[in-house]
Amino acid sequence: MKLLKQAIFLVLFLALGCAQAQEEEEILPIETRVNARLAAVDKSPKVWEKVRKVGAERALFCSVCHGEDGNSKKDNVPKLAAQNPVYLLDQLEKFADGTRKSFVMQDLAKSFSDQDKIDLVVYYARSSRAIGAIGDPELIARGKELYAKCQGCHGEDGMGASGYANIAAQHATFVEATLIDFRDETGNRNNPVMTAMTQGLSDADIRAVAAYVESMPPKKFELVKPQPSEPATETKPEAVSSEE
């Protein structure tokens, strides 16, 4: 009987341990999960080939609107190529849970497994973004002035800090509509920071910012790796002057 109780206890302990490990894996931060996949892709050509294959297969569903290589031909549909994968995964999950509204995208996002989503966003991150159209120089110059307050999150080059959208060379029509959604709180996009940042912008201001954003040269997405800390150096005591 004693051995039976010990066996039952051991089984329960292992089951709880496995459940806890699975739960911890599921609640890993988005950035950790994506960056781990990116690091594996950069390290192993075999892993990249697997991710590329899965990502390309999943991207077939997206290509109708977003283009085969993630560069949409429709100016009201965003380019996904070279997008920050942490940001893109976050948006897919918002579509899946209904936080972000889109009839097509909500159903599509729900159909992907978590691993599908990660492989898809890494696939797009490793794609090259097409250059944007260059519009009216005066409008772009005005947009550059207004964009100054966007740099804290999206960067001077539009590439975006960790978790923020890469907006460089994004379609101006899409950027304009998105900013209006935030400013007017239409419910299509929900972000208190963006809503606050767009308050006070006129339609003309938003048009100028969008024109400047599209004129930005696109860049390849790069995973920012943590810098190793410098080894501590032994500090030698200073010689004491006899004149003191």
CB atoms < 10 A from the CB of 140, how many?
21
Q: Which residue has the higher pLDDT, 225 or 192?
A: 192
Q: How far is Cα 37 from Cα 198, in angstroms, rounded to an integer?
A: 34
Query: What 8-state DSSP symbol labels residue 39?
Result: H
Secondary structure element (H or E) that encloses residue 107, with its range: helix 103-111
The answer to whether residues 116 and 157 touch, using CB atoms and an 8 Å cutoff, is: no
Residue 42 scores a pLDDT above 80: yes
**CATH of the domain spanning 132-222:** 1.10.760.10
Closest CA to 160 of 86, 91, 73, 89: 86
How many helices and strands (H and E) does the chain possess? 11, 0
Residue 20 scores a pLDDT above 60: no
- Residue extents of the structural domains in the chain: 28-130, 132-222
CA 29 vs CA 117, 224, 227, 237: distances in Å: 14, 16, 21, 45
**CATH of the domain spanning 28-130:** 1.10.760.10
Domains 28-130 and 132-222 share a fold: yes
> In the prediction, which pLDDT does 211 show?
98
Is pTM, for the whole model, over 0.85? no
